[in-house]
Structure 1
Amino acid sequence: MEPILKVDNINVYYGSIHAIKGVSFEVNQGEIVTLIGANGAGKSTTLNTVAGLLHSKTGSITFLGENLGHLPCHKTVSKGLALVPEGRRVFLQMSVQENLEMGAYTKPGSGVAADLEHVYELFPRLKERMRQTAGTLSGGEQQMLAMGRALMSHPKLLMLDEPSMGLAPILVEQIFDIIRSLHKAGTTILLVEQNAQAALSVADRGYVLETGKVVTTGTGAELLASPIIKKAYLGG
């Protein structure tokens, strides 16, 4: 089966700093694939490159058989890629509903009401707060809003960058329950996450990044059971 996303030998620089060094990985239809690693390993940079926010000097990024090349970020959304960025980045002065409607800007207007209803079913808390300004929401609610906004574009691949960052343990659990239910409903997910234990427990497969390189790959279960991974990332 042809992977939905194939990243082949990308090299990304910040000025003279070589941040991503020959990274390759793939994501198949219906999978959750996670990139784990320490702070500064290159996880978010990799995700931002796939999303079109950064560009690679070499290699290729192929999505649904099409080479994304140097396609800008807003064009990748219309291709079916949606990124929930690190730090959530919701529109703080706008209402919950207005934020969600912004997520549907690539879609025809007729289906937006049904899409809103679907997001409100997934995130009942957002429905309760639909008229509230996003800046008054808690961190967990803002994370739900950022995920809901991305889902409004009907992504063929949902990319999540550190969805548990800064959240209380009970909210982390809720966010990962939502990731599981999205996966069960058929959403393909590429997950970047500092919380390796949580990420590997939901992932079909994982890639471990160290200083901009992929050093290990395996199924979520294999990586969870690996003594090296346990010692480095799981406090084992």
Structure 2
Amino acid sequence: MEWAGNARLAAGPEATWYLEAAFTPGAHLGTVYDDPTTPVVVTGVEELTTLRVPSGRLVVDAPWDDDDVWRYEKGLPTRPPRELAVSIPPGVYRVEIAWTAGPYEFFGEHVDGVECAATRLCISDDPVVGWEMGLGVDEDIDQLQAGDEPRFFSDANVGCFADAGAWTTLSAPFRTFVDGMPAPRDTEQLADGCERVRDESQQADLVTFGAESGGVVWLGRTEAGDVAAIVVTSGMAGATA
């Protein structure tokens, strides 16, 4: 039986095109702001690291937000993370980043305009036949209005993939504050400012990535309806069906 998604979550033509083009080296994703003659080009797809998800439950969210500062300082529990309603098979998965370049001039200086177009968690290598927005466990599809885009928000322009079962331990380094600012943390530094936290007692990981103001979480479905990829985009219109 072929997978048939819900129209309220399905990616429209613009979002589908972007999700496919973002991971295609050489593809043009538009033009530089205020310069229609200079394209924004996908320069490559980088395997950033791997992520262990032993529980099969996945958080895709900011590792902290501004509200956590005063909650932490007052001894109150911080907000629960945005755990996806869909589960994945327990395992170890590649985290990939699609990079773009759109050079421009800024006050007479050349800027290469390198940006992250999207971040992908690769669940399987099976072909994706359709995309839909990923709901959180506490979100109700029946409450969605036309044009709604369920998403996570990030005050610090940082998102993460993390095992939900080990969230308390994995997110702890991001939830210690000094004078209202995140304290220096002992995390593994990956390329381009991304970080990884390991919980060896549970064999679980958290990996951060850039996410301007947060982002929409997209599920790439196979013909059978299985999730083959989970992609985060930010700064892109959802263009839902």
Question: Shared fold by TM > 0.5?
Answer: no
TM-score, reference length from structure 2:
0.27
Larger Rg: 2
TM-score, reference length from structure 1:
0.27
Please state which structure has a larger fraction of its residues in strand: 2
Please state which structure has a larger fraction of its residues in helix: 1
